[in-house]
């Protein structure tokens, strides 16, 4: 009877751990996906800070190609049977103690997961030149050398504020009366944007401009420009990139493994 109960308990543990694997995989997938935007935003802000110190710095840009989420659970039960009983008797034949031995149960379990991003550095000279021109425009404004797409020009320059002094001796601290969002410390500068610009998607649009574009829908798409590297407008809203088309990044989800 005891061995049956032990075996049943082990079976319940296996089933329960398998269910936990699926739940953990779902949680890990959402967790990894939520870091994507943060990585992309932080590298844009880091490059802006470098541009403040070096107006024509070559951007340090990476593309996230694939992500991997894997959850592995295993459980190893061990049961020994049958039972054996022994008795200790006194000299008069009375039983002084009764011992049950020879049975046991042990359960070994493991629960682990890995979460990774695979990144590729952007090394194409044309792409880096375009991205550098974007960062320079956002910090310093036009200097006559940029050939920026219309989507970039819809972002007014010098709307990113910073602490400290730029390489050209200029400063751009947030006005005292302006409600701002603190974007964090990057390199030598604390970066800010007005609360109104933040709510209107200024920073989000800036991040989108340096991401690899999706495959074009075809020349017949409404408002689409087919020139390489040009901006794309959808329904009158700001969209586009300073980069030519590359394959769209993907997330690879590895199913849980239960033993």
pLDDT on residue 228: 45
Q: What pLDDT score was predicted for residue 257?
A: 54
What per-residue confidence (pLDDT) applies to 231? Answer: 41
CA distances (Å), origin 152, targets 15, 98, 231: 54, 87, 8
Indicate yes or no: pTM above 0.85.
no
Total number of residues shown for the chain: 259
Q: What is the 3-state secondary structure (H, E, C) of 45-111?
A: HHHHHHHHHCCCCCCCCEEEEEEEEEEEEEEEEEEECCCEEEEEECCCCCEEEEEEECCEEEEEEEE
Nearest to 139, CA basis, from 180, 91, 97, 189: 189
Q: Which residue has the tokens 């996906």?
A: 33
In the chain, pLDDT over 90 holds for what percent of residues? 34
- Enclosing H/E stretch for 15: helix 2-53
Q: Which range, of 73-77, 177-181, 184-188, averages the lowest pLDDT? A: 73-77
Q: What is the pLDDT of residue 161?
A: 97
Q: Quick one: average pLDDT of 49-64?
A: 93
Query: What are the tens digits of pLDDT across the range 22-34?
Result: 676 676 667 766 7
């Amino acid at each position: 009877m005891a061995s049956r109960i032990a075996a049943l308990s082990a079976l319940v543990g296996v089933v329960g751990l398998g269910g936990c694997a699926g739940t953990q995989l779902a949680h890990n997938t959402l967790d990894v996906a939520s870091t994507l935007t943060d990585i992309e935003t932080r590298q844009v802000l880091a490059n802006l800070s470098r541009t403040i110190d070096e107006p024509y710095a070559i951007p340090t840009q990476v593309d996230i190609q694939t992500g991997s989420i894997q959850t592995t659970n295993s459980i190893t039960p061990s049961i020994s049977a049958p039972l054996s009983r022994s008795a200790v008797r006194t000299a008069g034949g009375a039983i002084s103690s009764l011992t049950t031995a020879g049975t046991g149960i042990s359960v070994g379990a493991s629960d682990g997961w890995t979460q990774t991003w695979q990144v590729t550095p952007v090394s194409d000279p044309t792409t880096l030149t375009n991205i550098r021109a974007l960062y320079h425009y956002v910090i310093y404004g036009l200097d006559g050398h940029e050939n920026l797409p219309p989507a970039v020009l819809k972002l007014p320059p010098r709307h990113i504020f910073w602490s400290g002094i730029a390489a050209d001796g200029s400063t751009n601290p947030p006005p005292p009366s302006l409600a701002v969002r603190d974007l964090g410390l990057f390199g030598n500068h604390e970066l800010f944007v007005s609360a109104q610009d933040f709510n209107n998607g200024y920073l989000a649009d800036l991040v989108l401009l340096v991401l690899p574009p999706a495959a074009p829908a075809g020349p017949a798409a409404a408002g689409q420009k087919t020139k390489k590297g040009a901006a794309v407008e959808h329904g009158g809203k700001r969209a586009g990139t300073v980069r030519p088309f590359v394959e769209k990044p993907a997330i690879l989800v590895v199913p849980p493994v239960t033993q």
